Every structure is written in C-alpha cells, then in structure tokens.
Amino acid sequence: MLLFLPVSAQACGGLFAATSQGRVSQDTERLLITIGAQKTTLYEQIRYQGNAHDFAWVLPVATVPTVNTASPALFNQLEMVTAPRFLEPPAKNCNSVDIMKSLFDNGTYGGARAPASSSKVDIYSGGSVGPFTYQVIRSDNAGALTSWLQSHQYAVPANTSTLIQPYVQNHMYFLAMRLRTQGNVTNIAPVQVTFPTVMKQVTIPIHLAAADIQQRMRMEVSILASQRFGSQNYQDVRVHPATITNADPDPVQKYHQIADSAIQQAGGYGIVTEYAQSISSYELGPYLADNSISNPYITRFYTSYTPTLMQRDPTFVARPDLPNLSTMIPLKDVSAAPDCTAVYFRDAACLTVFPIIPGLILITGVIWLWKKRKHS
C-alpha cells in the first residue's frame, strides 16, 4: 500500500482479513506510481480471497486524494513491458538455433477543507467507487483511530494502533477502504489513488504490511516519470547472469532465490533494479489516468522482506545519471556439447569428393569428343 508526502510518494499500507477464511495474498506486492506534470497517481494491485465483510485496507497518506479503480489489464501490460526475460544460449547441436524464452508469468464526496469531527477522529472525504467504500480520516490518537475503524465496519486487528502509531505521530491522514459487495470475492480491481501534487521522491512505508505476511513478501515498484529513478537508502544488489543456467528447471524461481539471497546479505535492505528504459506513451497510456508525462521513462525495482525486517522505508529519488537497464538476462550455458563426429565425416567427405566430380565430368566429356572425332 502507498502513502504520499507533499514532496514524496509513500506506499504500502496494510491489507487485513478478519478471519482465517479471508486470505490476503501478499506474496508479491505490485505498485505503479506515475508522476505527471501536475499530479501523482498510485496504482496498486490487490489480491484477496474471502468474504467481502472481512476485507479492509488502510493506507497512510499526507494529503486528501481522489480515489478510483483501474483496469486489471494495467498490471498485465506493465508485466509485459518491464518483467525480466531470460535469453537461452544457442543450442549446442550441429546446426545451432537461437531460442528466446520470456519470463511472464460511483457517487463520491470530498475535498472538504473543514473536517467533520467524530470521536476524536476527523473525516475529510469519502464515498464509493467500484467495489469499494472509502473514507479519509485523521486523528492524533492511534487508539481512537483504530476504535473508529472497527466501529465503522473496517475489519482491522486490535494491534492496528501499534502499527499506525508512527504515522499518527507524523500527522498523516489515513485512506480506509472496505468492500461494499456481499459474499465471497476472488478478484478485485486495482486501486487508483491520485494526489494533486508532483512528487519529488517516492517512499514506501512498509510497517503496516508486516501484519499481512507469514514468511516473505516480495515487492515490485515501478515508477513512471520523465526521468530515471534510483534507490536512496537501500543497497543496490544484482542478480549475476552467470548464476542462472539453462539447466535450471525454473529460471524464474532461481532468479528470485538469488535476488532474495542477495537482499538478505545486504542486511535485509537491498534492492534490485530490474528495468530502466524510456517507453512509448502507447505502451501503458490506454490504462493510465494521466498521460501528461513528457518523455516517459519507467524504472522497475524488486525487493523482498521477512516480517522481522520491515523497519526501514525504502526511498527512491530521481537519478538521471544512472544507466539504462534491459530486461534481458542471458542464461549461462552448462549443457554438454553434442557428438558431431558423423556430421564432421559427412562434411569432410563432401569437401573431398565434390571437387573431384567436376574433373571426372570434364575428363569424360573430353574422351567422348575424342572418340566421336575418331569415328567421323
């Protein structure tokens, strides 16, 4: 989930499921942030299976945003453009070929400057969009804010007050969302949250997400702006191509294992830049609310967390000095060379015999002409 400051876009709040039957899939958190000429928009892919009543999403924000839903096709297209691709080495046979293998796998109200107070919790905006009901609230008391959420049918756990305390101390707003549909749900449209400010940096608060995961959460952050971005406070780590081979049964899984290991070796706060390139406006444009970005450039980052190492919020800043990065990852060739002995003998025979054939034809022709003249 994302939260935004006046000069920074911050992300990654908390998705909660009130019962064991409701399951929030936080195996991979996918975020897209677009920084346009006059506004910044967050797109977040939410994966939830369970009863709609048990779902709640709490997102710390610094200003009152407008809320909408985005096309599910947005993240499919984002994956097509930015996901790493594995390039297999030429096949070791006697007639080599190149093989390419890719990794893929409304009524609202708001904008009020004067808040309406309710039990020490101020309500700044709210409404309904798509399958969601939402409200933007703020309080100086984390306990009061948690009680307000619970009393207004937001299925947040009792320890929410502890998780949100750092953001309450920073006088943040909170975008609270719940599903207004009934029964079980399996697919939820991505959330689109727009702020009327141009963000200079992107920070992702990860504390709330610690309540959602059991072992490890992977996070992909893509920033679409007019220039390249880079990590400010995480160690840059790489997945070296030589560590993934064409003998690995699942290069995707091997890639993530190596990346997660490198992140762990960086103290749990490492990050991989997976893609950094200029893109054409038509590649993502049809799915975006804001197409005002001149010379669009997208940077994609990957990191992962364990519940005990979610204390440092990653921050990204503009880094136009850094190089472009491609999605292509060549696989190291560890396959055995084929036995080409028979082919070599065939080629050798051709090279030896074929030059003799024209000479034999020429000699045969000369003998035929000589005999013909002799008998004439």
What are 209-227's pLDDT values in tens digits?
Answer: 766 666 788 899 999 999 9
pLDDT for position 104: 37
Residue with tokens 């490492």: 270
Alpha carbon separation from 50 to 24, 198, 354 (Å, rounded): 8, 36, 74
User: Residue 256 — very low, low, confident or very high, per pLDDT cuts 50/70/90?
Assistant: very high
- Is the pLDDT confidence value at 117 over 80? no
Mean pLDDT of 301-325: 91
> Rounded to whole angstroms, how far apart are CA atoms 241 and 244?
6
Residue 143 CB contacts under 8 Å (≥ 6 apart), including other chains: 161
CA torsion, points 189, 193, 198, 204, in degrees to nearest 10?
-80
Query: Would you place residue 248 in the very low, low, confident or very high pLDDT band (cuts 50, 70, 90)?
Result: confident
Say if residue 373 is exposed, middle or buried (CB neighbours under 10 Å; 0-12, 13-18, 19+).
exposed
The stretch 285-310 carries a mean pLDDT of 88
More confident residue, 315 or 21: 315
Q: Region 247-263: what's the mean pLDDT? A: 91
Q: Which residue has the higher pLDDT, 342 or 46?
A: 46
- pLDDT, residue 341, reads 64
What is the helix (H) or strand (E) element at residue 318, kind and residue range? strand 315-318
Other C-beta atoms lying within 10 Å of the C-beta of residue 317: 14
Mean pLDDT, all residues of the chain: 79
Structure tokens at 76: 């499919």
- The reported pLDDT for the residue numbered 309 is 82
Residue 319 tokens, joined: 């880094």
Q: pLDDT tier at 231 (50, 70, 90 boundaries)?
A: very high
Average pLDDT of span 313-322: 94
Cβ contact 255:87 at 8 Å: no
Give the pLDDT band of residue 355 (cuts 50, 70, 90). Answer: low
User: In the prediction, which pLDDT does 15 show?
Assistant: 58
Is 28 a residue whose pLDDT tops 90? no
In the beta sheet, which residues pair with residue 277?
298
Query: What would you measure as the largest C-alpha separation in the chain, in angstroms?
Result: 127
Average pLDDT for 344-359: 58
Looking up tokens 């909408």 gives 68
CB 15 within 8 A of CB 208: no
Q: Is the pLDDT assigned to residue 19 strictly greater than 90? A: no
Which of 29, 66, 102, 7 has its CA nearest to residue 327? 102
Spatial neighbors of 293 by CB under 8 A, at least 6 apart, are 34, 35, 36, 37, 224, 225, 226, 281
Which of 172-181, 263-272, 276-285 is predicted most confidently? Answer: 263-272
- The DSSP output letter for 243 is G
- When mean pLDDT is compared across 114-128, 168-182, 203-217, 359-373, the lowest value belongs to 359-373
Both tokens of 317, joined, read 């800043």
- What is residue 78's predicted lDDT score, i.e. its pLDDT? 93
Confidence at 10, pLDDT banded by 50, 70, 90? very low
Q: What is the pLDDT of residues 63-109, one digit of tens each?
A: 899 999 999 899 999 999 999 888 877 766 655 433 333 333 344 44
Give me the amino acid identity at 283: E
pLDDT at 345 over 80: no
Which pTM value belongs to this model?
0.77
